[in-house]
Structures are given as C-alpha cells and as structure tokens.
C-alpha cells in the first residue's frame, strides 16, 4: 500500500495553504519551474532537490520531506494485537476510503466508524463475527465518509449515530459528548475541525491485553501528510497537534485514506509537524 499523498501532494498542499507562488517554491528547491511543477504532479524528483530550503519556504520539515520523497512508509501494524478491529476499504472511481469496525469480545457489541461508499463489506464482517452493531461514529460529513449512511440505517434501524452535526461552526458546540461505552471499550470524541468544520476524532480505549488506544481521525491526518484545510488550515494544524499527536506514542492512528500509522511514527516522519 502506498501513502495517500506523495511528496508532490504534500508540497502542493503546503504551498497552496500559504498562497506561495510556484516560482518561489521552485527557486527554494533549486529547480526550474517546470521541474518543480512535475515534482508536485508526480512526486518523483528528477533532479537534486534542496528539501531543507524548500521545507523552510513552505513551513515543512525539510528532513522529513526528504524522507517522504525517498519512499518512507509507516511500519504496518500487527492488527492481531487488537483482534477486535477491522479496516474496511471501499472504492468509488479513484477514491478509496477507510472505515473501521471495533467491537467488544464478550458482548459482541460493535461500532462502525464512517460508512464507506458501500455497506456490503462491513455487513459481511458483522455477519461473520456475529456482531451486534449499535453505534456509528462519523468523523465528518464529506460524501466519501457518509455515502452509505442511508444503507446502514435501513439495515440497522436502531443504530445510534454520533459525531458533530454538519454545518455547525465549532464555536457553536458545547464541548465534547461523554464517552460511549462499548462493552469494556470506551469511545471518546475529540473535536478536530479544520479539514471540515464538523471534524471529529474518536479515541477507542480498553482493548484487552494492553493493546494501545486507537484514534480514528478521518481526514485530519494521513500517514506522512494531512487533509486539506477546507475550513481552516491553522485550526487543523493546531487540532492535530493538540488532540491527536498528544495521545500516547503507541496510539494506532486510523486515517480516512491510506495506510494506518502511529502517533510516534507521525511525530518522527510527518513533514507538517
Ligand atoms: Zn474529507
């Protein structure tokens, strides 16, 4: 599996959020404008790139940027540690989105995180593991994350849906709701607006055998990158730092797109932080 964003995507996101012209980024990188454009497009550096100077210009960590360009990938987690956690990937055209299913072993109570494009793969896990699906947590209301909401609701009419309502500015919300128990697991909401105004992260704790916490972050953070700040880039940066990267280092991060990662790996390798 490849990263959601290659180094060119990372550069373009950073440059556009700061409204820095291509010419200025190219000069810092020591590239011609056309070579720099190619780098943003395909993520393959054709010539020697001065990542230190380019990073300084774009507010990115130059060494981490060079690491992404050199092909860094997060170490794949051994999901057997969590046992009661599944990653469900569904695709429409070229958009593959992750949703996640977690459950309590004893009670079989289950929670789904984002709907994906299609409910069928998640439903087969639920049938196979004989789960009692009680809760649906929505990280945000972008189409790829909620596309199958009606389908899930039809199949599970008593499903409790959690998350921030769409189109409510973060300032109008009165703090995060109480954690939701799921058998012996607990699911706590942390607001992480910035990519969207309703952005939320859900932190699952209480996995047996000391398995670390799991943070379902939606599009706030990707392995080696982050979502676009459609609502506010500075707010997104701050929330990722304060609400996600402040979790214990071994916390498993489950992003809405691309591979899974951990807090420790993102602190070490993500050029945005
Ligand atoms: Zn999104």
What percentage of the chain reaches a pLDDT higher than 70? 99
202 CA from centroid of ligand 1 (Å): 15
- Supply the pLDDT for residue 166: 87
Q: Which residues of 183-215 are buried (b: 16+ CB within 10 A; e: fewer)?
A: bebebbbbbbbbbbbbbbbbbbbebeeebbbbb
**What letter does residue 234 receive in the DSSP assignment?**
H
Q: Please say if the pLDDT value at position 155 is more than 90.
A: yes
Query: Is 140 within 8 Å of 218 (Cβ atoms)?
Result: yes
Question: How far apart are the CA of 227 and the centre of ligand 1, in A?
Answer: 7
Residue 83 Cα to ligand 1 midpoint, Å, equals 27
Q: Give residue 14's pLDDT.
A: 97
Mean pLDDT of the chain: 95
Per-residue model confidence (pLDDT) at position 87: 96
Arithmetic mean of pLDDT, 28-57? 95
Compute the distance from residue 107 Cα to the ligand 1 centre, in Å: 32
How many other C-beta atoms are found inside a 10 Å radius of the C-beta of residue 257? 20
Q: Is 268 exposed, middle or buried (0-12, 13-18, 19+ CB in 10 A)?
A: middle
**pLDDT exceeds cutoff 80 at 37:** yes
Read off the pLDDT of each residue in 65-77 and give the average, rounded to a whole number: 95
Which string of b and e fits 18-27 if b means at least 16 CB within 10 Å? eeeebeebbb
Can you give the pLDDT at residue 181?
Answer: 97
Q: How remote is the CA of residue 142 from the centroid of ligand 1, in Å?
A: 5
CA of 126 to the centre of ligand 1 (A): 25
Please tell me the distance between residue 219's alpha carbon and the centre of ligand 1 in angstroms: 5
Rounded to the nearest angstrom, the distance between the alpha carbon of 31 and the centre of ligand 1 is 32
Ligand 1 centroid to Cα of residue 144, in Å, is 7
Q: What is the DSSP letter of 205?
A: E
226 C-alpha to center of ligand 1: Å?
A: 11
In this predicted structure, the answer to whether residue 218 has a pLDDT above a threshold of 80 is yes
Domains and CATH numbers, the chain: 7-69 (1.10.260.40), 79-269 (3.60.15.10)
| Residue 176: per-residue pLDDT | 76
List, as ranges, residues with CB under 5 A of the ion ligand 1: 142, 219
Residue 177 confidence (pLDDT): 86
Residue 174 has pLDDT above 80, yes or no: no
Categorize the per-residue pLDDT at 16 as very low, low, confident or very high, splitting at 50, 70 and 90.
very high
C-alpha 86 – ligand 1 centre gap (Å): 21
Q: Give the phi and the psi of residue 215 in degrees, each rounded to 5.
A: -115, 115
Looking at residue 58, its pLDDT comes to: 98
Rounded to the nearest 10°, the torsion over CA 126, 127, 129, 134 is 40
CA–CA distance, 271 with 105 (Å, rounded to integer): 38
Using the predicted structure, report yes or no on whether residue 242 has a pLDDT greater than 80: yes
Average the pLDDT over 31-36 and give the result.
Answer: 96
Task: With CA atoms as reference, report the closest residue to 64 among 247, 273, 272, 271.
Answer: 271
């Amino acid at each position: 599996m490849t990263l959601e964003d290659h180094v060119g995507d990372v550069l373009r996101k950073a440059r556009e959020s700061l409204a820095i012209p291509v010419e200025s980024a190219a000069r810092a990188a020591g590239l011609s404008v056309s070579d720099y454009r190619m780098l943003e497009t395909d993520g393959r550096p054709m010539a020697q790139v001065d990542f230190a100077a380019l990073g300084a210009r774009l507010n990115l960590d130059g060494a981490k940027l060079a690491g992404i360009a050199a092909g860094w990938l997060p170490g794949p987690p051994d999901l057997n540690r969590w046992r009661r956690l599944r990653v469900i990937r569904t695709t429409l055209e070229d958009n593959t989105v992750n949703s996640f299913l977690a459950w309590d072993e004893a009670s079989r109570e289950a929670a789904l995180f984002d709907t994906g494009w299609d409910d069928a793969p998640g439903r087969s896990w639920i049938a196979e593991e004989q789960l009692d699906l009680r809760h649906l947590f929505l990280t945000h209301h972008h189409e790829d994350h909620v596309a199958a909401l009606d389908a899930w609701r039809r199949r599970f009419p008593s499903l409790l849906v959690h998350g921030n309502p769409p189109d409510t500015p973060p300032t109008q919300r009165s703090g995060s709701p109480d954690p939701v128990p799921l058998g012996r697991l607990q699911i706590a909401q942390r607001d992480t607006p910035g990519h969207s105004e309703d952005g939320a992260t859900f932190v699952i704790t209480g996995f047996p055998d000391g398995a670390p916490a799991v943070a379902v972050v939606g599009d706030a953070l990707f392995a080696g990158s982050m979502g676009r700040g459609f609502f506010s880039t500075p707010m997104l940066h701050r929330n990722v730092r304060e609400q996600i990267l402040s979790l214990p280092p071994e916390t498993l991060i489950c992003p809405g797109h691309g591979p899974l990662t951990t807090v420790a790996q993102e602190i070490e390798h993500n050029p945005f932080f």
